[in-house]
Structure 1
Amino acid sequence: MAQANVRVTMTPGWQRALRPALRRTENELTRMVAEDARRLVGVKTGDLKRTIHARGNRVYVGTSYWHYHEFGTRPHLILPRHRQALYWPGAVHPVASVNHPGTRANPFMRTALRRARTLRDM
């Protein structure tokens, strides 16, 4: 099969013209990742889901505990911080400590980041 000779000529200022298109594409990808993360995150109260936002080319999660959902936790002992015992609604009586079994990871952010995407023409 014969190869065709193709000549590509770049006009002056092509880089300047490319920047806005790249920025729009970057922002669109970021928005898609944030949407997927909100869709994939586990919901108990909805607080974590509500704090996932795309700003520019970054995805922000506005809770201090998102990484426990993303990576899970090992079994651990829960001790009281401010009182002598732990108590919660539904507990039969106060307890000195609780053996937490740990939580399974739900990698919502990593899954959202790695998902294959198709961009529409912008």
Structure 2
Amino acid sequence: MKVEITIRKLPKILKREKVREAVELGLKRGASRYREMVLDWIDEGRAFKRRSGFLRSSVVAFDNKVVAGAEYAPFVEFGTRPHVILPRRKRALRFIKDGKEIFAKRVNHPGSKPYPFMFADMERRKKEVAREFLRAFGEVLND
């Protein structure tokens, strides 16, 4: 799952080397700022309840992208529908419920509600990313 910051069509003036450098720095800084906002959202407890910290640590920014690399990130972000869980490697599933060890050949999972963290608070995040982009853009062009 990823958030990608793109500029679709560049005017001819933006093809100059200094401007290209400014755009690249702006996109990189914008992605970095977006990642910070995602992590803040998680740390403030506005997203999901943290368990191992793996999902949080899987949120990375590179170039113009912010990615949540954990396999289960989309299920946390968007939730799941009710579904059946079957064992893959063993003959039964094993889990703890109310302090008791349970074995089952199948489980009817009720689904889970979404806990948005990557796409939450988008209006504020868009403004912050744009501000960061313009700040970096200005730094390069004013050198």
Q: Could you tell me the TM-score, scaled by structure 1's length?
A: 0.75
Q: Which residue of 2 aligns with 1:29?
A: 30
Q: How many residues align?
A: 111
Q: Decide which of 74, 88, 91 is 2:95's aligned counterpart.
A: 88
Secondary structure of the equivalent of 2:26?
A: helix
In structure 1, runs of 5+ residues without a counterpart are: 1-11
Q: Which residue of 1 aligns with 2:18?
A: 17
1:34-73 correspondence runs (5 A): 34-41=35-42, 42=48, 43-73=50-80
CA distance in 1, matches of 2:86, 2:24: 48
Q: Could you tell me the TM-score, scaled by structure 2's length?
A: 0.65
1:92 Cα deviation after fit: 3.7
| Larger RCO (CA under 8 A, 6+ residues apart) | 2
1:67 Cα deviation after fit: 0.8
In structure 2, runs of 5+ residues without a counterpart are: 1-12, 43-47
The structure richer in strand per residue is 2
Q: Which residue of 1 aligns with 2:115?
A: 106
Secondary structure of the equivalent of 1:107?
A: coil
1:112 Cα deviation after fit: 6.0
| Percent of residue pairs bearing the same amino acid type | 31
Q: Decide which of 85, 98, 106 is 1:97's aligned counterpart.
A: 106
RMSD: 2.5
Q: Which amino acid aligns with 1:103?
A: S
Q: Which residue of 2 aligns with 1:4?
A: none
